A and B are shown apart, each in its own frame.
Chain A
Amino acid sequence: MTILLQVEGLTKKFGGLTALSDVTFDLPEGQIMGLIGPNGAGKTTLFNVVNGVYPATKGKVIFKGKDVTNVKTYEMAQLGLARTHQIVKPLNELSVLDNVIVGACFGRQGFGLGKATPIAEEVLEFVDLADRSDQLASSLNIAQKKRLEMARALAAQPHLILMDEVLAGLNQSEITEMVETVRKIRDQGITIIMIEHVMEAVMKVSDHMIVLNFGAQIAEGTPEVIQSNPAVIEAYLGDPKLAQKLMQKAME
């Protein structure tokens, strides 16, 4: 099993605020890694540092054996790292097809326009947007825009996709469909890290999970291990033994 992405002691500070502190993990090729944590835990910041939107304060990111800490976002894209955004960023005044062609043209493979078009059409078929390809991206609804984000990332034929809350805002049947799509992408040999709040879905689909809270990595392991980890439960629900502790204090 080869390691695709290594993150070593990654720290990001915004002035006095530590958004990420000492995050370390290895991601083997071909896996789906779930990244969870309460709001403001630093999940999207982790994506932003890994893909070069923000420079790291400390630590290292190694992608395919190459040190890519603080490399520009477009260079990361060309190395084979694609990403979808939590707040969708469609190229509004371009057609759906052109949006995907941009992904194919400028991503890892750097296709020419002629080659990119059939690839983009194929990807649109895959995410079930083929019948919308001539529409402007701005005319899609939110679920379709999320699929468009996915299509743009896929069209680059990347090694790794960072998915930022692709399930948020979708209804139950859309979630089922999307989870199926995510699995199919993994089966094509693309490695995935997904940030997700829909626990049921992310637990079902992940091979491995990492939990962040206040920028620190509080747990790591398979979904089963995570589910029963007291630190994780505390991060989401508060201290499970709090009531007991308070009772004890009152008794004394």
Chain B
Amino acid sequence: MKNWQKYLGLIISLLAVTLLAVWPLITSKPVDREVAFTILKGIALASSLNIILGYTGYVSFGHIVYFGLGGYIGFYLISQQGWSIYPSMLAGGLIAGLFAFLLGKAILRLRGAYFALATIGVNMAVLSFISNFDLLGGPIGMTLNFNIYKEYGGAAQALQLIFYLMVAITLITIIVSYLVRTSKFGLGLLAIREDEDAAEVMGVVAPNLKTWAYVLSAIFPGVIGVLFFFKNGSIEPHPAFPLHTSIELIVMVMLGGQGTVFGPILGAAAYQRMRGLLLTTPIFKNIQLSVAGVLLLIIVLFIPAGVVGWIRNRFPITRRVLQ
């Protein structure tokens, strides 16, 4: 196979994201940029979740905890310690990763529904802790002084910068997802997903591989959390740890195709667009979450492999292109 063909799966994924990033620059409408930002955020979060959910087969139901935790750490550093956005993003990601490492050592021993329940419990526990922790603002959270955006050339420029950073994070997430998928490490994860006991008998050191997959899948949500709340200008416990967003992320991954690189991109883009349309339609605007639930049900019942998985199974020739 020619060299570039080997990377076709990655190229297509990156191209899709780049197109999405360029679209608001062409139309140069702030509204389009906001829509693109939301979709990119969905893609990056879903792609990170896919590493533990799709590749390793562990349903991390409360995965949004890393988004909130990273967000809080970064927000604290920016607003109280006067850090710039870049080191704060790094710190948010690293602390989310460290937390996942310690937590993973404990809860990754659980399998199936027990693991999923434990992750929900963790999200709830962190939410309650933060709500009662005065250093991070307790129940009312923290707000940014708007002067802070001056450092970046004013609020408008800051928004533009945040958008570019989001594009960069999304691209990096996808590259990491691709590298994991095509590496020996990734093959070990897939083996764990299919049959953890059989994998261990073949020599896969499941406890370590699972932990690293979990850490990787937590770092990016941590970074994105910092960026998102920096843009938001304020942070509060409940918007930082929304369990329903966790569920929506699972819907995105399942819809596109769990365990594939392109699946979460497609799933996130489709779901975010649908959500946008539902929210602006009078009949659906209050029940858009129920639609997500029904969608998940339909996927699980009829196309458990997701759209990309279904196409790959149906037309084996596409396997080289769709990864």
Contacts and interface: CB of A to CB of B under 8 A. Distances in A.
A103 B195 CA distance: 13
A105 B185 CA distance: 10
Given A89-B195, A91-B190, A91-B195, A103 B184 contact: no
Nearest to A155: B202
Nearest to A100: B202
A106 B204 contact: yes
B187 interface: yes
Interface stretch (A30-38, A73-81, A207-215, A221-229): A73-81
Contacts of A103: 202-203
B8 interface: no
A72 B202 CA distance: 12
* Size class of the contact patch on chain B: 20 to 34
B203 to A, nearest CB: 3
Nearest to B186: A113
B194 A106 contact: no
B287 interface: no
A156 interface: yes
A94 B206 contact: no
Nearest to A112: B184
A106 B198 contact: no
Contact of B200 (A73, A85, A91): A73
Interface string A111-132: 0110000000000000000000
Interface core residue of B198, B199, B201, B316 (most chain A CB under 10 Å): B201
Contacts of B183: 113
A196 interface: no
B191 interface: yes
A179 B203 CA distance: 26
A106 B188 contact: yes
B187 A98 contact: yes
B199 A102 contact: yes
B205 interface: yes
B197 interface: yes
Contacts of B188: 102, 105-106
A233 B190 CA distance: 46
A91 B194 contact: yes
A94 B200 contact: no
A11 interface: no
A102 B209 CA distance: 14
A156 B203 contact: yes
B195 A106 contact: no
Interface in B178-227: 183-184, 187-188, 190-191, 193-195, 197-206
Closest 4 CB pairs of A and B: A77-B203, A91-B194, A106-B203, A89-B198
13 contacts: A53-B201, A74-B203, A74-B206, A77-B202, A90-B195, A91-B190, A91-B195, A93-B190, A94-B190, A103-B203, A105-B188, A106-B202, A106-B203
